[in-house]
Amino acid sequence: MEKEINKIFLEIRAGTGGDEAALFAGDLARMYQRYAQQKGWCFGVVDDNPTSLKGYKSFVARIVGEGVYNALKQESGVHRVQRIPETERSGRVHTSTATVAILPEIESRDFEVNPNDLEVTFSRAGGPGGQNVNKVETAVRILHKPSGIVVSSRAERSQHANRDAAMNILRSKLYEIEKEKEARLVGADRKAQVGSGDRSEKIRTYNFPDDRITDHRIGKKWSRIEKILEGNLDPIIEAFKERDTQHPKP
């Protein structure tokens, strides 16, 4: 029996659609955070790149809780939203995207990363209100030179803690790449999981004018978008559990 994974990283990136894509990424981040709270899971922001309109260009969080990976693993992919943006004056519906990646946290003893492959830089974390976090170079950015993957962490108070957090994310991403290679999936980088963010690559569409969410992999639809975005993800999670029960993987 496969070991249950209770620690994951959630990564959300704005895709096609400019400010509206960043707003949608923010909606998804809050949706997963509220769902985690409902489940009693621990949700901590590792790194984010917010916009002035309460959206995110990128957002990374660590979630710890019983069964968290099995519950959220199907969320990986391109999420598409169709709605009238707050910034749209003519009332025209826009289509935007955000990518989601669910990465199991991998222990250092289970997957080693060559230190010579890393380029580590430090910067000020840039916390709110001119606090001490701004005065010391605690934020960490790590480039994995062979793959070109860049990870960062600035939420922790110390440089050491941020380096550990960034290394954990990097390890998880590299582990996923190795898994994809072993499974002979298309592509040997994280694009195989989250796509490029183009509108045509989608796993789920959130259509506000019709108040309908459609998951294109299982062909199911749900109404009451606002309620689901408030964190009420159980109907979607349960639909995938039912699918996996009826069609278990060999």
Predicted confidence (pLDDT) per residue in 236-250, tens digit:
999 999 888 876 665
Q: What is the pLDDT of residues 24-46, one digit of tens each?
A: 999 999 999 999 999 999 999 99
Average pLDDT over residues 118-146: 72
CATH class of 7-107+188-246: alpha beta
Average pLDDT over residues 119-127: 76
User: Is the pTM of the predicted complex or chain greater than 0.85?
Assistant: no
Average pLDDT over residues 212-220: 95
pLDDT of 21 > 50? The answer is yes
The backbone torsions φ and ψ at residue 55, rounded to the nearest 5 degrees and listed phi first, read -110, -175
pLDDT of 75 > 80? The answer is yes
If pLDDT is split at 50, 70 and 90, which confidence band does 193 have?
low
pLDDT of 181 > 90? The answer is no
3-state helix, strand, coil in the chain (%, to 5): 35, 30, 35
CATH topology of domain 115-182: Double Stranded RNA Binding Domain (3.30.160)
pLDDT score for 187: 44
Contacts of 244 (CB under 8 A, 6+ apart): none
Tell me the pLDDT of the chain averaged across its residues.
Answer: 85
pLDDT score for 46: 92
Domain boundaries, the chain: 7-107+188-246, 115-182
Angle at the Cα of 150 from the Cα atoms of 63 and 166, rounded to 5 degrees: 40
pLDDT score for 188: 41
If pLDDT is split at 50, 70 and 90, which confidence band does 128 have?
very low
pLDDT of 57 > 80? The answer is yes
If pLDDT is split at 50, 70 and 90, which confidence band does 126 have?
low
E strand or H helix at 246, and its extent? helix 234-246
Lowest average pLDDT, out of 85-94, 99-108, 127-136, 141-150, goes to 127-136
Q: How far is CA 148 from CA 9, 151, 165, in A?
A: 19, 10, 18
